[in-house]
Amino acid sequence: MFISLEGIEGSGKTTQIGHMAAYLQKTGRDYVITKEPGGTAVGEKIRSILLDPEHTDIDPMAELMLYVADRVQHVQKVILPAMASGKIVICDRFCDSTTVYQGVSRGIDTDLIQRIHHLALGGLLPDLTFVLDLNPEIGLKRAWRQIRDGSRPERETRFENERLEFHEKVRKGYLELARLEPERFVVLDAAANPEKVRETILGHLENHLKNQRQIT
């Protein structure tokens, strides 16, 4: 099973992934927690290029290709092998991030992005995608607070430096994707009590695991 988490910066994905890991651990499931960009050694290098705030002049198409390169390496070396050995894969961001950040916000044709993904990944998509929906003003404030207190690295702030409108488009992009594919997406209010968000996510996770057991 392949699950992704999506959301703007500061939406609380990392915290919720920690809760999911604790739940899977407690219930004795085999799982892998991973992320994009940077889920492999090569990907970590690509990540440092992509998120460096000094790289203000990366061409949008070059940016897109770097995300895709990171993803292909990640899918081939981590995600597919883990799935093949029956593990549950939890991924902090996947191709929906590219569709909304490079597509909706940067303005690259989203059909083109989907064609590239199809070509590069053979149509691999998560079975379940959680979107932590949040007003970007709140998300960016949280993210900058974490940068100031050192819990988020300052050397990775290229997207936090983007204008508010950029992040507003990201948010709308996610909501539109969720509207188009309601069977894959679950949208959660990330401004709600984190405990409530946790319970909702774990409820969906449990249901999915139950359904999967019935199918196999």
Residues 21 and 3: beta-carbon distance below 8 Å: no
Residue-wise DSSP of 81-129: HHHHTT-EEEEES-HHHHIIIIIIIT---HHHHHHHHHHHHTT---SEE
Site for ligand TMP in 59-78 (CB under 6 A): 67
Give the x/- contact pattern for ligand TMP in 120-159, rule: CB under 6 A. Answer: ---------------------------------------x
Asked if 9 touches ligand TMP (CB under 6 A), the answer is yes
Give the x/- contact pattern for ligand TMP in 81-120, rule: CB under 6 A. Answer: ------------x---xx--xx------------------
Token pair recorded at residue 147: 């940068």
Q: How far is the CB of 204 from ligand TMP (least distance, A)?
A: 21
Residues 155 and 48: beta-carbon distance below 8 Å: yes
Place of tokens 């993210």: 143
Residues 205 and 20: beta-carbon distance below 8 Å: yes
Q: How far is the CB of 101 from ligand TMP (least distance, A)?
A: 3
* CA 119 – CA 122 distance, rounded (Å): 6
Asked if 174 touches ligand TMP (CB under 6 A), the answer is no
Q: How far is the CB of 76 from ligand TMP (least distance, A)?
A: 16
Which residues make up the interface to ligand TMP (CB under 6 A)? 9, 36-37, 51, 67, 93, 97-98, 101-102, 159
